[in-house]
Structure 1
Amino acid sequence: MEATKQQHHPLFNNQKHVRLARADLHQGDCLAVIPSLDGFFDAVVTDPPYSSGGQSKGNRAASTGAKYLNTGSIQWPDFAGDSKDQRSYLHWSALWMALCYEKLNPGGLMVVFSDWRQLPVTSDALQAAGFTWRGVGVWDKAGSARPYKGGFKAQTEFFVWGSKGPLVGDTYSAGLFRVQQKPGEKLHQVGKPLDLMEPLVAACGQRILDPFMGSGTTGLAAIGQGKEFVGIEVSEHYYQVAVDRLRGN
């Protein structure tokens, strides 16, 4: 069963909600949408904007395509929320993580992607929001990593993870995932590979929340494993990409 409706409360600015068989998909700002969600979740698995593509104010304000993609390879629209400085990024991250904390079951997992620049800030925000910080996992991008002349290849991104109180699961999961990004499979400028998201989702419970779902890869992994998924995306373009992608699964 599928339903589409417009939210008319002023908090939502008339944005969209699509209900699929195993997924609820919301188009809007996660700070507005999360408090309205029904029920509780077993895990939050998400890849927020990093706001790390420039080391100066001017560079941070550049388009995300210019910051994160090689020249001539820009084929996806820019995404929002990627021009914050460190202080505002920390404050914003603590805000949305605290909202997620309130929506998690006891023992629920928080899994948040980051790069090397925002790794300390992300771990601070996780703890400020109330989570017990459990560690940092690694995504080894292998041959899809960006080289630096005279330096070291930018071969890794990370996920910071924690829990709402004591851990309750019975899975044993890896902390390092070697998955090469295949550009031809991407539907978002900085989308994560499905082969990466599947084992991460497998380590979580049955109901998954992604406040920054982008093109819906986390949802695809969750639905493929018979789990329930709730996703939020502020970009109308990427929201529709996710809806179309998950509608067929």
Structure 2
Amino acid sequence: MSKVVIGDATLYLGDCREILATLPHVDAVITDPPYGIGIAANPVRQMHERLDWDSSAPDVDLIKACVDAGEVAVLWGGNYFGLPPAQCFFVWDKMQPQEFSLAMCEQAWTNKKGPAKLYRQSVLSYRKEHPTQKPVELMKWCIDQLGGASVILDPFMGSGSTGVAAIQMGRKFIGIEREPKYFEIACRRIEDAQRQTSLFEPEAPKAEQTALFGESA
């Protein structure tokens, strides 16, 4: 296991099964675990290296650990994990043609109270560096649905879209990823988001600046 801190983001390279037990309880878990359907080896994903990280879904105990890690949880692909009935669920309408062979939408299980919610964004509207990468705008929308969650955890970080969304929205982020290739991509994307966010932060008033350095005003 190794750890990288980038501004308000703390990123772990390693197995979330081992790392989750070492982390504090957070406000929200927003994640997209492997569905166990072999999508990383699917010929449709020809632009990506064929891997086997989603040859099986996480077991019941690991999914429970992810849900228990936060006050509220959002798990994309929740229909694959045997989760209990929930009042609310999220749907991403990918705006695919009716006759297209891939999924027209994806579902997220959440233990948030409230009615089901729908988000629309074309799956062709953003660049992917991971075969199942979610759009940053979708992850921002998820964070918005959870209100005042200030610390976001993603145990299956992938290429870091949840982290980019959290940093752009001024939240703290904790991410875990076991594939070094995708961990490096996530670090770069989150570092870029942190840098861009810092550029637009207002300058502290002079009195506050001097106080920060222990000087008298």
Task: Sort the TM-score into its range (normalised by shorter chain).
Answer: 0.7 to 0.9
Please state how far the C-alpha of 1:44 moved relative to its aligned partner: 0.5
Distance 1:237 1:146 in 2: 34
Deviation at residue 83 of structure 1 after TM alignment: 1.6
Residues in 2 aligned to 1:225 and 1:173: alpha-carbon distance in whole angstroms: 24
State the distance in 2 between where 1:217 and 1:245 align: 8
Aligned partner letter, 1:81: W
Give 1:103 shift.
Answer: 2.9
Larger radius of gyration: 2
1:23 aligns with 2:9: yes
Which of 36, 40, 45 is the aligned partner of 2:22? 36
Q: For 1:23 and 1:145, how far apart are their aligned partners in 2?
A: 39
Alpha-carbon displacement from aligned partner over 1:180-214 (angstroms, at most 9, x marks no partner): 12376111111011121111012231111100010
Q: For residues 138 and 215 of structure 1, do their structure 2 counterparts lie closer, same or farther at Cα, with a shift above 3 Å needed?
A: same
Q: Distance in 2 between matches of 1:40 and 1:177?
A: 28
Partner of 1:190: 132
Tell me, in whole angstroms, the C-alpha distance in 2 between the residues paired with 1:213 and 1:247. 14
In structure 1, what is the equivalent of residue 215 of structure 2? Answer: none
- Residue of structure 2 in register with 1:110 after alignment: 73
Q: TM-score, normalised by structure 1?
A: 0.68
Q: Quick one: structure 1 residues 44 and 146, their matched pair in 2 at CA, closer, same or farther if it must change by over 3 Å?
A: farther
The residue that corresponds to 2:103 in the other structure is 154
Secondary structure of residue in 2 paired with 1:142: coil
CA 1:76/1:206 → structure 2, altered by over 3 Å: closer, same or farther? same
Name the CA shift for 1:203/1:32 in 2 (closer, same or farther; >3 Å).
Answer: same
Aligned to 2:169: 225
Q: Which residue of 2 aligns with 1:178?
A: 120
- For residues 65-144 of structure 1, what are the structure 2 equivalents within 5 Å? 65-67=40-42, 69-70=43-44, 74-84=46-56, 89=57, 92-104=58-70, 108-114=71-77, 119=79, 121-122=80-81, 124=82, 126-127=83-84, 133-143=86-96
> Where do 5+ consecutive residues of structure 2 fail to align?
195-217
Question: What is the DSSP-based 3-state SS (H/G/I as helix, E as strand, rest coil) of the residue aligned with 1:222?
Answer: helix
Cα–Cα, structure 1 residues 218 and 99, in superposed 2: closer, same or farther, change >3 Å? same
8 Å CA contact retained: 1:202, 1:225: no
Number of aligned residues: 191
1:51-107 CA distance string (max 9 Å, x none): 124xxxxxxxxxx4432x52xx523334553122xxxx4xx4421232234432xxx
Unpaired stretches in structure 1, ≥5 consecutive residues? 1-14, 54-63
Q: Is the 8 A contact 2:88 2:115 kept in 1?
A: no
Q: How far apart are the structure 2 equivalents of 1:79 and 1:202?
A: 33
**AA of the residue aligned to 1:246:** I
Q: Percent of counterpart pairs with the same letter?
A: 31
Answering whether residue 143 of structure 2 is matched by residue 201 of structure 1, we say: yes
Do structure 1's residue 48 and structure 2's residue 50 form an aligned pair? no
User: How far apart are the structure 2 equivalents of 1:144 and 1:218?
Assistant: 27
Change (3 A) 1:19 1:83: same
What SS does the aligned partner of 1:31 have? helix
Q: What is the TM-score when the length of structure 2 is the normalising length?
A: 0.78
Q: In 2, distance between residues paired with 1:207 and 1:17?
A: 17
Partner of 1:234: 178
Residue identity in the other structure for 1:99: A
Rounded Cα–Cα distance in structure 2 between residues aligned with 1:52 and 1:26: 25
